[in-house]
Structure 1
Amino acid sequence: MTYDATRARVEDYFDRTATRTWERLTSDAPVSRIRETVRQGRDRMRARMLGALPRDLDGVRVLDAGCGAGQMTAELAARGALVTAVDISPSLVEIARNRLPADLQGRVTFASGDMLSAHLGDFDHVVAMDSLIYYTGADIHAALAALSARTSGSVIFTVAPRTPLLMTMWYAGKMFPRSDRSPIMIPHAPATLAQTVRATGALRDLGRITSGFYISQALEFTK
């Protein structure tokens, strides 16, 4: 599947099928035990990614690529960053905009559309939490090349790691597709992905977060 086709499927899922689910998951509202493990995993991953950025973000330009409901956006802005928060889902962008505390609004610019768009501008750093997990290695390479061309520092992102559990889920999804299914994550081994992108830059492994059904690997890309 091409990048554009995958992006369209992701947009349809998050903007039409799962908006309310993600709004609840990213809030303090009660959720099922399974979704609570996902919530906790995402909280830990967000902290891991933020910890890889410079401590002083005052005036630093950061692209939150795939901002979702805006949790990363708010934390970046609270640390002083000038944030451009973009998501393929206009519905999630609106949730993020409404949730942002009033005292941080002057530091954030919201946009809906493709996170790779050059119209978003240039940045010091990019964070892309669980935004590239549906794409092939070639598409991730192309995305990193596009983002790093407009970024002076690092691109910190996540992938679905190539574990036995995720590979089983991936093959099951390939064998039994459903029109209402969430987009299928494509697992990657960090070492293999590093070889894929080496013509453009280097990858540093920032570690894996596992929490119930949430499994995600953080990576840092530099030119």
Structure 2
Amino acid sequence: MRYEATRSRVEDYFDRTATKTWERLTSDAPVSKIRETVRQGRDQMRERLLARLPSDLTGRRILDAGCGTGMVTEIMAARGAEVVAVDISPQLVEIARSRLTPGLAARVTFHAGDMLSADLGRFDHVLAMDSLIYYHAHDIRNALSVLGERTQENIVFTVAPRTPLLMMMWNAGKLFPRADRSPTMIPHAPKSLSRELEDIGTLADLGRVSKGFYISQALEFRV
């Protein structure tokens, strides 16, 4: 039940607590200096993950797993992909739907729900930017195993890297009452995660993006 419990906390946070924050962060609206570093870091990570997909995505079916407000969805659809954009937060899905360029609407199918749902179908590629950062290694293994069975080529995703700063934040977060916590990022070392996955596929380290208050590790999984 650990995956379901974490998913429920993530849904509650993004759909009830932080919707307006993420709507603003992923727009052109002015933000604080701290949030500007997060915005810049996410921009860099988005480019890094998209670089692992073909430049021409015509005819490719891609899962944007944890699509948020739809920035990656927009780019992939503009490059010709048929995109299935799913997020656990119905409010974020509606923001993504409203922001999508009308001429790309025929290429995108939006869903509010679990990114692992079999109802979403099969894919050529999966991109999961910062949507697995709250899960333990066992849950990431399960997610990649489930998605890998339905993915023809690669799954590119991110985790929170196991750095001294993030470990300090992770341990400090345990001191707050549960009601006051945002979902806690679970740090992972790529080598340890690779050992966790070695019997179901191969994991490649795509490097880390560290920009102010944004720190994330890019990885690529293939069955």
Same fold (TM over 0.5): yes
Indicate the residue corresponding to 2:100 in structure 1: 100
Indicate the residue corresponding to 1:133 in structure 2: 133
> What's the offset of the Cα at 1:175?
2.9
Deviations 1:6-53 (A, max 9, x none): 000000000000000000000000000000000000000000000011
Q: Secondary structure at the match of 1:219?
A: strand
The whole-number CA distance in structure 1 between the counterparts of 2:119 and 2:129 is 21
* AA matched with 2:19: T
* AA matched with 2:221: F
- TM-score, L = length of structure 2: 0.99
> What's the offset of the Cα at 1:59?
1.3
Q: Aligned residues: percent identity?
A: 69
Q: Secondary structure at the match of 2:174?
A: helix
- Unpaired segments ≥5 residues, structure 1: none
* AA matched with 2:194: A
Q: Secondary structure at the match of 1:54?
A: coil
Give the alignment's Cα RMSD to 1 decimal. Answer: 0.8
The whole-number CA distance in structure 2 between the counterparts of 1:178 and 1:4 is 17
Indicate the residue corresponding to 2:207 in structure 1: 207
The whole-number CA distance in structure 1 between the counterparts of 2:178 and 2:116 is 28
The whole-number CA distance in structure 1 between the counterparts of 2:77 and 2:180 is 35
Q: Secondary structure at the match of 2:208?
A: strand
> What's the offset of the Cα at 1:182?
1.1
Q: Secondary structure at the match of 2:13?
A: helix
Which aligned segments of 4 or more residues in structure 1 are displaced greater than 2 angstroms? 175-178
> What's the offset of the Cα at 1:70?
0.2
Q: Which moved more, 1:113-122 or 1:178-187?
A: 178-187
The whole-number CA distance in structure 2 between the counterparts of 1:164 and 1:180 is 23
- Unpaired segments ≥5 residues, structure 2: none
- TM-score, L = length of structure 1: 0.99
The whole-number CA distance in structure 2 between the counterparts of 1:102 and 1:174 is 44
